[in-house]
Structure 1
Amino acid sequence: MQTIELGRTGQHVSRLALGAMQMGNATGEEDSFRILDRYFEVGGSFVDTANCYEWWARRDSRGGESEELLGRWMRRGNRRDEVFLATKATALPHYSPDLWAADGTPDWELARRTFEGAGAETLRNALDGSLKRLGTDHVDLFYVHVDDRNTPLEETLEALAGLVRSGKVRHLGWSNVRTWRLERIRGLCRANGWPLPVAIQQQHSYLRANPGADSASIVDGEQLDYLREHDDQTLVAYSPILKGIYDSAAKRAEHWVFSSYGGPDTDARLAALLEVADEVGVTPNQLVLAWLMHQSAPRVLPLIGPRTPEQFEDMLPALDVKLSDEQLSRLDTAGV
């Protein structure tokens, strides 16, 4: 597996990151360990989790199951030094029994109104909890998971800088964030000598969001342009294959994730994708991952989240896809 530099830090990580969100819940321990072992076997290094994963999976959970599982896996093989380990804070909702309906389904509207936020004390406590569950004295990358616009940015950034100085965090990241906020963060970091977030984790894929989509989580044209101009921040693309919709017209018709991507150029981009996938002998899902890994302006680091070992294996052919300049041009300009 090839590597990519994180921002301009000199830190190189694997070209494909592994998301551990479902590990410890939807993905049991045995299958989680199989996925992790296989990922490192093929040259992976970058594992992503969060303190809130997955509070919504069962009533009264306070999250942390993914971090706990990763801690067990690292201890089992004494593998901490092999892992570029990322976790996140700010998105865990304050506990309330009302977070779950009678049938156990989560109340996302309530969760989004009551997330823990990015106050200084909250960040320090959240990180300490993550370190305990992970069984380590530091994480390599610590994200603000949900941009908190109710806490002054100065408070958040100063607290994050303190975590870096303490040695508990090596690098910082931000997720689910508007472009104008990134510029404000940059200005405050420059003015105060605070470390800049070097990873920006957003939802990003081959299809473009429809014009009516209004989400701080989905990359738009302005954000891509911003990141081209500021290559000291690497785009980490979560949900890169949009729950696998590229391989299935039926899934595109019924899956909620597609509702944000039914733009005017969708048919043209899907047609180009299917055509090139057939030429290179891979599935559309695999081609999307390969296309993202070919991007250089800005550089993109896809973050995959397989639920099963079989799903993980199905993504691996993307690592070997070589796209010609002509094929990349066709994919890039489809629907323009």
Structure 2
Amino acid sequence: YFNDVRLLDTACSYNLGESERFLGDYVSDKRSDVVISTKFTLNNTTVQKERRFNPNFGGNHRKSLVENLDGSLKRLNMSYVDILYVHVYEYRTPIEEFMRSLDDVVRSGKVGILPWSIVADGFLTGKYTRESNINLKSDYRNRSIINYSKDEKNWQILDEVIAISKEINRSPVQVALNWIQQKPGITSPLIGARTVVQLEENLKSLEFK
């Protein structure tokens, strides 16, 4: 292990599945010592010239989840993964089907836990405003933020988070992380820091209640 790292992450789309095969081989004799996470949603057949495009192999719908998870487990040579991420939320699959399918794979024993985006893909960090979002480019990086911004209720939640952050002299992201930590059933929030500064900022959410 490198610096005692125990969580190893991959995805069905990374290098068209080769990442999962490599990781599976690497941890084959140490499975109980590590936490394995993978992801589903992206459609590998869109970039594989030797394969015919299969619309059922991507998205959040039940068939995509079942097919991709089974494929991931086969490549990893494992009976379960500890964590399954929804790589992209595509806003087309009915939420009832989406949640039912996710619950089923957890109950089946093939998945340990399903983490969620605590700060709504960055929407609750406070860096987005009603005015600034008007100029956001409609690409895959901003898709979630643009969709969040379409619902006035989300702006009201953000307004409340910002108001609380000012009242207690904390950042919006610290307020959001602190709130989720106090929810029943939450054992360990997952953060998505890209820099040391962001990591330190997130960890400060542990300093207050």
Query: TM-score, with normalisation over the residues of structure 2?
Result: 0.64
Q: Which residue of 2 aligns with 1:90?
A: 41
After superposition, where does 1:116-155 map in structure 2 within 5 Å? 116-155=58-97
| Richer in helix (by share) | 2
SS at match of 1:173: coil
SS at match of 1:88: strand
SS at match of 1:235: coil
Q: Which residue of 2 aligns with 1:45?
A: 6
- Asked whether 1:234 is paired with 2:184, we answer no
**How far does the alpha carbon of each residue in 1:199-224 deviate from its partner, in whole angstroms, 9 at most, with x for none?**
xxx579x9x57945742279x99383
Task: Give me the whole-angstrom Cα distance separating, in 1, the residues matched to 2:191 and 2:13.
Answer: 19
2:115–2:190 contact (8 Å) kept in structure 1: no
Change (3 A) 1:298 1:80: farther
Q: 1:64 pairs with 9, 17, 23, which one?
A: 17
Specify every segment of 5 or more residues in structure 2 that has no aligned partner in the other structure, as ranges. Answer: 50-54, 137-141, 147-154, 159-171
1:142–1:172 contact (8 Å) kept in structure 2: yes
Once the 2 structures are TM-superposed, how far is the Cα of residue 133 of structure 1 from its aligned partner? 0.7
Task: Give me the whole-angstrom Cα distance separating, in 2, the residues matched to 1:88 and 1:135.
Answer: 16
Q: 1:296 pairs with 192, 200, 205, which one?
A: 205
Could you say what the CA RMSD is over the residues aligned between the two structures, in angstroms? 3.8
- Asked whether 1:170 is paired with 2:112, we answer yes
Task: Give me the whole-angstrom Cα distance separating, in 2, the residues matched to 1:143 and 1:46.
Answer: 14
Change (3 A) 1:142 1:290: closer
Once the 2 structures are TM-superposed, how far is the Cα of residue 296 of structure 1 from its aligned partner? 2.1
| Richer in strand (by share) | 1
SS at match of 1:86: strand
Task: Give me the whole-angstrom Cα distance separating, in 2, the residues matched to 1:130 and 1:217.
Answer: 29
User: Taking every aligned residue pair, what percent have the same amino acid on both sides?
Assistant: 31
1:120–1:156 contact (8 Å) kept in structure 2: yes
Give, as a single letter, the amino acid of the residue that structure 2 aligns with 1:129.
G
Task: Give me the whole-angstrom Cα distance separating, in 2, the residues matched to 1:53 and 1:121.
Answer: 20
Specify every segment of 5 or more residues in structure 1 that has no aligned partner in the other structure, as ranges. Answer: 1-36, 55-62, 99-112, 180-201, 242-286, 300-336
Task: Give me the whole-angstrom Cα distance separating, in 2, the residues matched to 1:95 and 1:139.
Answer: 25
**How far does the alpha carbon of each residue in 1:117-176 deviate from its partner, in whole angstroms, 9 at most, with x for none?**
11111101100000011111000011111012100011011011110111000101246x
- Report how many residues are paired: 166
Give, as a single letter, the amino acid of the residue that structure 2 aligns with 1:228.
N
Change (3 A) 1:69 1:161: same
SS at match of 1:159: helix
After superposition, where does 1:93-104 map in structure 2 within 5 Å? 93-95=44-46
Change (3 A) 1:52 1:298: farther
Task: Give me the whole-angstrom Cα distance separating, in 2, the residues matched to 1:67 and 1:149.
Answer: 27
